[in-house]
Amino acid sequence: MMTERLPVLSRIRLTLSLLLLGPASAGAGLTGPANYWECILHGMEDVKNDPVAREVMKICLSDFPDGFSVEEPLEGTPTECILKHGEDVSSALAAQQIHIACNVLYSRP
C-alpha cells in the first residue's frame, strides 16, 4: 500500500515545486529557470516515466510560453549538461528533452 502511494506523492511534489518555485524564482532573478529549456532541465531530473515527463513539459510551456529562445549560451558543454541532468532519468522522453535542452542552452552558434 505504501509503495503504491510513493510514486503519486513524488509526482505531486514535482508538479507543486515546478508550479510554485519555477516562475517565482525566475522572476525574482534567483536560481530558478529563466526560460522553457532551463525549466525542462530542472523538472526532468529523476523522471522515471513518460507521462510525468509530459506533465513537466506542459508546466514548462505554461510557465514560459515564449521562452524557447536563448540569448546567450551558458558556460559549459552540451555533453557536460547531459551527463549532469540525465544521470538518473529512466524516461526516454525526459532523456530526449534533456538532450535537446542541453544542446540549445550550451551550444555556441
Give me the phi and psi of 19, to 5 degrees please: -70, -45
CB 63 within 8 A of CB 55: no
Q: What is the pTM (predicted TM-score) of this model?
A: 0.71
Q: Where are the alpha helices (DSSP H) in the chain?
A: 2-27, 36-44, 50-63, 78-85, 92-106
The closest alpha carbon to 63, from 44, 35, 41, 86, belongs to 35
pLDDT for residue 10 is more than 80: no
Q: Where are the domains of the chain?
A: 2-106
**Per-residue pLDDT tens digits for 22-76:** 444 444 446 789 999 999 999 999 999 999 999 999 999 999 998 788 888 899 9
- Read off the C-alpha cell for 76: 559549459
Q: What count of residues does the chain have? A: 109
